[in-house]
Amino acid sequence: MTLTITDVTPAIGAEIAGVDLSRLSDAAFAAIEHAWHRRAFVLVRGQRLSDDDLLAFSRRLGELDPPPNQEKGRMSPPGYPDIYVVSNVLDAKGEPIGALGAGEAVWHTDMSYLDAPPDASMLYALELPPTGGDTWFCAMQAAFAEMPEALNARIRGRRIKHDGTYNSGGYLRQGVTATDDPHQAPGAWHPAVCVHPATGVPALYLGRRRNSYIEGYTRAESDALLDALWAHATQPQFTYAHRWQVGDLVLWDNRTTMHRRDPFDSTARRVMHRTQIKGSAKPVAYAA
Ligand SMILES: [Fe+2]
């Protein structure tokens, strides 16, 4: 097999073909890692991965991170605590086998409410609904590169509070008290513009909209500025909607992307297995 790399859109994504992720040479892994850093997400179609294969590939990228605490806690297949199930499927007792249900998941960066958010997350598609459930990615490096100077000037040198109260499905995380006050909410402060540790390329770093707050402004000023930043970053030229096929693996760079999910028919089955790579460092501010 010959490894090929094709841009998914001009702004974001690399599709890698000609590889079997369960039997990956060091050279092929290096090519994937390089593309992941530079193109923000990597898509590899047509894989047949066991949970052990998924874990082995994930470990080549860094230290595994336990699944995030979701509305029902941490949801993993039996015997695989480092794999996190994203699914709307119910078990024989009527309990969900995974997180996020069938609703929309709003734009977010995974777990940016931590001081050192995960470097990467990946999803592997096992069962899919006939329509809906597309996963969207947003190119935060391109969004920063093309940001109007007036907007740039208003966030230069500032930090943003990233909320840990709600997950991307809008559910309250287990063990957290509901609040819509960014100053009371659990979370972390990060620079509004961060540099990638491997490439030095700057990216806008927004995390998620709910309970977000930009330091040094009133809540109303911060909300208006955040609305303008979000409207800019999520324009069509910076986003890509991934229509899944069974056997797709998508690995994203959590430092330079946001993602969201379309809702789908709750009577259809969707099962994804997901892993996450621990944050290797705190986000570093871009010094313009
Ligand atoms: Fe996510």
Q: 177-206 burial, b for 16+ CB within 10 Å, e for fewer?
A: eeeeebeebbbbebbbbbbbeeeebbbbbb
Query: Percentage of residues in the chain with pLDDT exceeding 90?
Result: 84
What average pLDDT does the structure give for the chain? 95
Residues 237, 239, 243: CA angle, nearest 5 degrees: 130
Distance from the alpha carbon of residue 287 to the mean position of ligand 1, in angstroms: 28
Distance from the alpha carbon of residue 69 to the mean position of ligand 1, in angstroms: 12
Contact 81, 87 (CB under 8 A): no
Where does the chain show beta strands of DSSP type E?
4-7, 14-17, 41-44, 84-87, 99-100, 105-108, 120-127, 135-139, 159-163, 187-191, 193-195, 202-204, 213-214, 239-242, 249-253, 257-261, 271-277, 284-285
Q: pLDDT tens across 160-200, in order? A: 999 999 888 888 888 888 988 888 888 999 999 999 999 99
pLDDT attached to residue 187: 93
Distance from the alpha carbon of residue 150 to the mean position of ligand 1, in angstroms: 30
Distance from the alpha carbon of residue 108 to the mean position of ligand 1, in angstroms: 6
Distance from the alpha carbon of residue 274 to the mean position of ligand 1, in angstroms: 10
Q: pLDDT tens across 31-90, in order? A: 999 999 999 999 999 999 999 999 999 999 999 998 776 666 668 988 999 999 999 999
Write down the pTM of the prediction. Answer: 0.94
pLDDT attached to residue 75: 82
Say whether pLDDT at 282 is over 70: yes
Distance from the alpha carbon of residue 137 to the mean position of ligand 1, in angstroms: 10
pLDDT attached to residue 117: 97
